[in-house]
Structure 1
Amino acid sequence: MLYKDLKIVTKSLGFLTIEDFAKYIGVTPKEILKWEQKEEVPYTISLIIHLLKGEKPLPNNSTLDNLVEECLPLATLLEEASSFPHKLEEMFLLQKELNDSTNGKNWELGINKFDKEINWLRCIHMEVAELIDSAPWKHWKNINAEPDMNNVHVELVDIWHFLMSYILQETNVPKAVSLVNTHCIYEANEEVDVKAMIQESEKLSYISLAIQTNNMPSFSGIERFIDQFFRCCKISGLSFTWLQKLYIGKNCLNKFRQDNGYKEGTYIKQWNGKEDNVVMINILKQTESVSFKDLYQKLDDAYKSL
């Protein structure tokens, strides 16, 4: 819907001005100014207009108000989902670039440039163990501790690195995007059931071990992996949007580590008392949208100040 159409349709719905309509749906004049400048109206607002059409009286219809309120989360999710294929392609391309740089060309054959075996399934299995250790699962130690959800999310992103690498080893970028795309549309839980989170995370290990021991075909294993991974994201409260942002951050940090002696053992992981992961997340939280290049520069500036 174009902005000029919005002006016409709001009056047909009984609103005297666009400002009255904006107040009713809870947006600011600044947001409306952006629509006018772009000569377009967001999908969510278009959906609200479709819901309002034909409903009388307006705007004092409480049933309609409730309907709009219920539809808004889904509308917002669908609007975000339109960008998911592009975001997935960006992540898969970044992962391939990182693997090419770190492991050398043709790493998909299972050997890196130092003649070292690559085992993505084992990588996933080990990262799952680290994720579980972020929760107080031990019956003999710190039984009343709270789970470190920030680290749980970081570990999920690490698993995502290795899962993408495994998918790329078995297929290509366009096919990978096609396999993953429909699984990204979910609403992350606001309340986290820690026991369920651990149980669902362990299933990722079961899948990796089943494939590795030839008890599950590789391709059907990939589909199981993808479905189970996003189930874990949902249960742990990790939205796809934050997953993507964290992935860009962790991918950038991994590249930064490699460029600064990680493989040689000279890299400093503690930055003024904070692990580099924590520094990276703090940068992401302070920035609405950050590019790979900008984040790399921020990490470089922070590392040089040590």
Structure 2
Amino acid sequence: MLYKELKDSIKALGFPSIEDFVHYIGVTPSDILEWEEKDDVPYIVSLIIHLLKGDKDLPNNKTLDNLVEECLPLAQLLEEASSFPHKLEEMFLLQKELNDSTNGKNWELGINKYGKEINWLRCIHMEVAELIDSTPWKHWKNINAESDMNNIHVELVDIWHFLMSYILQETNVPKAVSLVNTHCIYEALEEIDPKAMVKEAEKLSYISLAIETGNMPTFSGVERFIDQFFRCCKISGLSFTWLQKLYIGKNCLNKFRQDHGYKEGTYIKVWNNDEDNVVMVSILDKMENVSFDELYSKLEESYPA
């Protein structure tokens, strides 16, 4: 609103003078002088004028419009975040169910049903290595290659499987959801720096080794793991929503593998020249809402005879 428009509006509202209006809204005469000098009235004053007039439409303001536009992504993220505890609970329950099925009851004690030791920390360490191998980190080979971001996201989901298992080994589902929930609210980066991504991923290995060697207490290690994992997701451009979708997909694929001879060595991992991970992601891309049972059926349809 321009200063002249303010003066005209004040008269129309019945204020004897601009001083009376100033007193009414609680600003100082020096503020009025500044408005007159700049020929610009603050938006909040324009809003008061409109409210006093009884106008239904609010005054236009470019600054406010820009502010609202900037806040929209955050508002959408916060709206999505309201569903995060439910999604986390679903993932932890699915992970427990998969571990019960694959490793047998009481796998939390560190031994599977075949008497073999379970080492989630080593699993995480090895998956980090696979993630790093999806980037052109080697100084002697393919130095100009692009990072395989699709596979990096799949490797992060694999790490998430093992990290959830480790968390469940140390606590229970409600506590696990409580520990993780506040870390899920973040905006994934659009521009990815492969070097930074590798460095952040390596920190997951450092935490694994620190706990394994007794140089970090287990519970503080769990908290460090969670924080660092979601930092890796953010830097890698993997949103929590897509992480959850990929997790359901990979969990379903893991169940599918077990049902089709993975442990016995009879499972076929390459389907018509594509690895099963690639097939699973391509199916997920076409699914708006992920259903474990529907995805399992689609995998059955795609699996080589």
Provide TM-score, normalisation by structure 1. Answer: 0.81
Q: How many residues matched? A: 253
**Is there any run of 5+ residues in structure 2 with no aligned partner, and where?**
1-46, 51-56
1:198 matched residue in structure 2 = 198
Name the counterpart of 2:128.
128
**Could you say which residue in structure 2 is the equivalent of 1:44?**
none
Measured at CA, do residues 54 and 301 of structure 1 come closer, stay the same or move farther in structure 2, by a change above 3 Å?
Answer: farther
Cα deviation digits, residues 237-294 of structure 1 (max 9, x gap): 0000000000000000000000000000000000000000000000111111121010
Offset from partner CA, 1:125-173 (integer Å, 9 cap, x none): 0000000000000000000000000000000000000000000000000
Structure 2 CA distance for aligned equivalents of residues 59 and 162 of structure 1: 54
2:79 aligns with 79
Separation in structure 2 between the aligned mates of residue 55 and residue 285 of structure 1, nearest angstrom: 51
CA distance in 2 between partners of 1:167 and 1:55 (Å): 57
State how 1:1-306 maps to structure 2 within 5 Å.
58=58, 60-303=60-303, 305-306=304-305
Give the gaps of 5 or more residues in structure 1. 1-52
CA deviation vs aligned residue, 1:73-101 (integer Å, no higher than 9, x gap): 11000000000000000000000000000
Distance change >3 Å, CA 64–CA 171, structure 1 → 2: same
**Paired residue type of 2:183:** H
Provide Cα deviations, 1:180-210, integer angstroms capped at 9, x if missing partner: 0000000000000110000000000000000
Q: CA separation of 1:213/1:66 partners in 2, compared to 1, >3 Å: closer, same or farther?
A: same
Q: 1:5: which partner in 2?
A: none
Displacement of 1:58: 3.6
- In structure 2, the partner of 1:3 is none
Task: Please give the alpha-carbon distance, in whole angstroms, between the structure 2 residues aligned to 1:177 and 1:55.
Answer: 49
Partner of 1:26: none
Q: CA RMSD in A?
A: 1.3
Q: Aligned-pair distance for 1:61?
A: 2.1
C-alpha distance in structure 1 between counterparts of 2:198 and 2:254, whole Å: 26
Classify 1:275/1:55 alpha carbon distance in 2 versus 1 (closer, same or farther; 3 Å): farther
Q: Judging changes above 3 Å, is the alpha-carbon distance between structure 1 residues 286 and 55 closer, same or farther for their aligned structure 2 residues?
A: farther
d(CA) in 2 for partners of 1:55 and 1:163?
A: 57
> Aligned to 1:184, what secondary structure does the other structure show?
coil
Shift of 1:59: 6.0
Q: Distance in 1 between matches of 2:49 and 2:250?
A: 48
TM-score of the two chains, using structure 2 as the length reference = 0.81
| CA distance in structure 1 between the aligned counterparts of 2:63 and 2:223, rounded to whole angstroms | 41
Identity across the alignment (%): 84
